[in-house]
Structure 1
Amino acid sequence: MNLTNYKIQTVTLNTTDLTKMTDFYETIMGLSVLEATDSTVALGIKQTGEILLKLTQTSRPQSQTSGLYHIAYLLPNRAALGNFLRHLAITQYPIQGASDHGYSEAVYLADPEGNGIEVYADKPESQWDIKDNGIIVGVTEAMDVEGVLAAATQEFDYLAEGTFIGHVHLAVSSVPETSQFFHDILAFTITTEFGSQAAFYGKDGYHHQFAGNIWTTRNFPKNQDEAPGMNEILVRVSKEVMTETKAKMDLQHYPYHQDHQDLIFHDPNGIKFRYIVPIK
């Protein structure tokens, strides 16, 4: 994946039980606590100190809104996926699925508060089914579980160095409205569509950094920043992407505000994004 222009850096989730959630992300997911206060815990990759997930305590009640479908953690290779899958088998943590998508192999589970998780490894791009118009054809078939387990090389302690958030799949109220936003405002290619049920959005030739579906949230109210679940998606972008995004928002009168150099906005489902340009 080309990360020069666009990289999902950190997702922040609101939680009603900070201790329980932290324990899950350490012991089951293999993330390390990198920063902690009484109300917030930042977790990430131990070797590099890169924060992938923040958990923030909230007292707000759960509500039925748009929000998160799953956060997808991209492992560096199939061996790392095998290590993780074997770890799930040893701990007997329940999985919700194990799929071959043509361009990737993925395992699905959920954290103790129901936030969806995907852990996956991409196949070589030479194996992707890429059409001339940029559409990247995905499938959902049963994973070769035996093959993935056979690729394992070591006992699992932590998510492998080089792991990052490959994509975030959103539970949206309307796919056409979401697609228009990602295509017209954020300049993503709509790489796959399933009618008005789901769509996948890719940038710089990737199969998708974001996706949206209405399978559980059709016509639901907008996500609330302080309610349990999705709080914020922090994305590291190039200066060019930052400039182009602001220009498109200005042209189409799309609301945003700036916090110092950060660009903060909400998508049509009320999901908050924060774009930053890293200091080199």
Structure 2
Amino acid sequence: MIPYTIPDQTQIGHVHLKVADLDRALQFYRDLLGFTVTTLYGDQAAFISAGGYHHHIGLNTWYSKGMPPAPVRSAGLFHTAILYPTRRDLAVALKRLIDAHYPITGASDHGVSEAIYLNDPDQNGVELYWDRPKEDWPQKPDGSLEMYTHPLDLEGLLGEL
């Protein structure tokens, strides 16, 4: 078989999450994080977006209405990562979480990015992050990325505001 490399311009288009309560999920993704609803499928599903794309996140109750969260120690989605365009935008998101008293499960500096971790109301992992400029990404002597997990300076991040 001839080796294949996916095209460089390929992107992850959207994630579709099973939720137990659509209204509760919308309160988190729309009202707290700020996504816009692009379409509703009655009371069973919603597509939400940033910037007018048809949808970045789909939320549905087709198999999960009223159900408990998936077990943490099982196969499945670890987290959905939401990429913010600037460090200041990530700081605004952090401030909104703090003001809403929404629990954060972690905050890390990965060298290439800074990230805030939390769970949505259905205990789906969510990463809010921004990427440093590519030219600032740390590299190992062999040229590969030097990614790490260090504590994120939350006060420094909030200093962007």
Determine if the TM-score, normalized by the shorter chain, exceeds 0.5.
Answer: yes
CA distance in 1, matches of 2:142, 2:80: 27
Letter of the 1:41 counterpart: A
Q: Give the Å deviation of 1:4.
A: 5.4
- 1:29 alignment partner, one of 5, 26, 33: 33
Counterpart residue number, 2:103:
94
Q: Give the Å deviation of 1:22.
A: 1.4
Counterpart residue number, 2:92:
83
Counterpart residue number, 2:62:
58
RMSD between aligned alpha carbons? 2.0
Q: Give the Å deviation of 1:107.
A: 0.5
Q: Give the Å deviation of 1:20.
A: 1.0
Counterpart residue number, 1:124:
133
Counterpart residue number, 1:143:
152
- 2:46 alignment partner, one of 25, 41, 44: 41
Post-superposition Cα deviations, 1:59-117, rounded to whole Å, max 9, x if no partner, equal 45555541111011111111111111111111111101111111111101110110000
Structure 1 vs Structure 2: percent identity of aligned residues? 34
CA distance in 1, matches of 2:41, 2:109: 39
5+ long unaligned stretches in structure 1: 153-280
CA distance in 2, matches of 1:28, 1:100: 23
CA distance in 1, matches of 2:63, 2:135: 48
TM-score, with structure 1 as normaliser: 0.50
The number of aligned residues is 149
CA distance in 1, matches of 2:54, 2:147: 30
Which consecutive aligned stretches of 4+ in structure 1 deviate over 6 angstroms post-superposition?
Answer: none
Q: Determine if contact 1:16/1:58 at 8 Å carries over to the other structure.
A: no
CA distance in 2, matches of 1:32, 1:125: 29
Higher strand share goes to which structure? 1
Q: Give runs of aligned pairs for residues 130-209 of structure 1, distance below 5 A.
A: 130-131=139-140, 135-152=144-161
CA distance in 1, matches of 2:85, 2:143: 24
